[in-house]
């Protein structure tokens, strides 16, 4: 497997992280077509024109989707040590750090969303923009917008995820100074980063340089 040497390939740009939350069920994906994006796990189903880079952290997820993700034309990353030595030349590996943020490793913090944030920061993102980071089940008990979950999480799982994001907030000013993380997920229970509503954000986006 290729080992990717971290590079600031998106230096100074916005990078969107596509999470899995049910709030994205009605999202207009065409808004991301010209953006720099990193998708978590099953976001690869959107195709490479929307999800430019995809990252996963759970071998169980890979075993479930391997026959489909092999056809994904974007770039696929993982930080799980199980994939450190494989013959898959289309899967890129960066070593994992259990907690916090890394500059040549990816902080795991118990969830793929945290890893995707770390990858965006290594890529040089000035602003990391979170989509679909609901941190709760929908009223109908749905966890994901794509209806193809690898697990069936309960609301209690999200408390563990939020603790992981606390590690990111704590280390961001030290490891990646002068960067921002903004949560543009409607009705999100992740309250650690500044929030902007989806409609408001994209309405104002054209004025952002």
Tens digit of pLDDT for each residue in 48-94?
Answer: 999 999 999 999 999 999 999 999 999 999 999 999 888 899 999 99
Contact by Cβ (8 Å): 185, 23: yes
Q: From CA 105, how far away is CA 98, in angstroms rounded?
A: 10
Q: Is residue 178 part of a domain?
A: yes
pLDDT of residue 149: 83
The structural domain count of the chain equals 1
- Give the CATH number, domain containing residue 66: 3.90.1480
pLDDT of residue 85: 85
Segment 141-154, tens digit of pLDDT: 999 999 998 888 78
User: 106-124 burial, b for 16+ CB within 10 Å, e for fewer?
Assistant: bbbbbbbbbbbbbbbbbbb
Torsion of CA 63, 23, 106, 163, to 10 degrees: -110
H or E element, residue 147:
none
Q: Is residue 27 part of a domain?
A: yes
Q: Is residue 110 part of a domain?
A: yes
Q: Tell how far CA 88 is from the center of its chain.
A: 22
Q: Is residue 61 part of a domain?
A: yes
Domain residue limits at 57: 14-204
Q: Is residue 193 part of a domain?
A: yes
pLDDT of residue 150: 84
Q: Is residue 106 part of a domain?
A: yes
pLDDT of residue 14: 97
Which has the closest alpha carbon to 26: 132, 128, 112, 116?
132
Q: From CA 156, how far away is CA 177, in angstroms rounded?
A: 32
Q: Is residue 131 part of a domain?
A: yes
Give 18: exposed, middle or buried? Use CB within 10 Å, 0-12, 13-18, 19+: buried
Give me the residues of the chain with pLDDT under 70, please. 1, 206-209
Q: Is residue 5 part of a domain?
A: no
Pairing of strands 106-107, 96-97: parallel
Cα separations (Å) of 170 from 107, 162, 185, 188? Answer: 13, 12, 21, 20
pLDDT of residue 12: 96
């Amino acid at each position: 497997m290729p080992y990717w040497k971290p590079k600031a390939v998106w230096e100074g740009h916005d990078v969107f992280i596509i999470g899995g939350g049910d709030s994205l069920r009605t999202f207009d994906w065409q808004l991301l077509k010209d953006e720099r994006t990193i998708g978590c796990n099953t976001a690869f189903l959107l195709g490479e024109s929307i999800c430019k880079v995809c990252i996963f952290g759970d071998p169980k997820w890979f075993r479930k989707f391997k026959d489909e993700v092999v056809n994904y034309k974007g770039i696929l990353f993982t930080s799980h040590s199980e994939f450190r030595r494989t013959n898959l030349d289309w899967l890129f590996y960066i070593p994992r750090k259990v907690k916090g943020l890394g500059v040549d490793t990816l902080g795991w913090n118990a969830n793929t969303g945290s890893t995707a944030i770390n990858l965006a920061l290594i890529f040089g993102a000035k602003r990391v923009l979170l989509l679909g980071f609901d941190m709760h089940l929908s009223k109908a008990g749905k966890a994901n917008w794509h209806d193809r979950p690898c697990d069936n999480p309960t609301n209690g799982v999200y408390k563990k995820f939020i603790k992981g994001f606390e590690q990111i907030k704590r280390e961001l000013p030290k490891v990646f100074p002068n960067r921002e993380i903004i949560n543009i997920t409607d009705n999100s229970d992740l309250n650690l980063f500044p929030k902007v509503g989806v409609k408001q954000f994209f309405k104002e986006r054209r004025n952002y340089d």
